[in-house]
Amino acid sequence: MKKIVYLAVFALLACQSGNQTSQNDNQQQAGMKLITLDDDAMIDSFYDFKMKDIEGNEVDFTQFKGQKVLIVNVASKCGYTPQYEDLQKLNEKHGDKVTILGFPANNFGGQEPGSNEDIKRFCSENYGVTFPMFEKISVKGVDKHPLYRWLSDKNLNGWNNTEPSWNFCKYLVDEEGNLVKFFPSSVNPMDEEILSLIGA
């Protein structure tokens, strides 16, 4: 009887292991990057990040020390896309008080399907965007970029577990690299709450 129980347990464990391997293989075949805690091992603060801008140039986040930073996941075919106009207005009027960083993402409704070049052209031609734009990333799910892991995991940023619920969610980082506020998509970039927090 004991042998039968042992064999049953062994078979169950082998099946679970096989299913996990199969699931990982399927995710990799679908082009997903499995992000593990090891990816964040060297990320102690906001300033440890280095990412490529929309033209492929590496940006070291240490250059943002001493600045307030507003991080926005953007998309070209969303009902909130007109917020680009107000992000640019915020940049032009209060760029001395806050640095805006735009991160194109196709996580919501397939509303950012284009290439980095397509996105760059769209932003320039339709909204005259001059604030920094970065290459397209994922902001949620199994392939979530480590930056958005940091922004939405309280064990990494100190307090916040809220990840983007749609395009044009916003995270405010203070001059010392601390995450201080999350804003949902519905909060306009020129909203009084944002302006008051940046001292505009």
Per residue in 132-154, pLDDT (tens digit) is 999 999 999 999 999 999 999 99
Shared domain check, 24 and 113: no
Residue keyed to tokens 């806050």? 98
Shared domain check, 25 and 74: no
Q: How far is CA 195 from CA 8, 99, 179, 186, in A?
A: 63, 13, 16, 15
- Which member of 15, 78, 123, 169 is catalytic? 78
Measured between alpha carbons, how far is 100 from 69 in angstroms, rounded to an integer? 6
78 in catalytic set: yes
The terminus-to-terminus CA distance of the chain in angstroms comes to 76
- Secondary structure (3-state) at 108: coil
Nearest to residue 137, comparing CAs of 78, 61, 51? Answer: 51
Per-residue confidence band for 30, with pLDDT thresholds at 50, 70 and 90:
very low
Percentage of the chain with pLDDT > 90? 78
| C-alpha R_g of the chain | 20
Q: How many domains does the chain have?
A: 2
Q: What's the pTM value of the predicted model, to 2 decimals? A: 0.80
The pLDDT, as a whole number, for residue 44 is 85
Where in the sequence is the domain holding 9, given as residue range(s)? 1-31
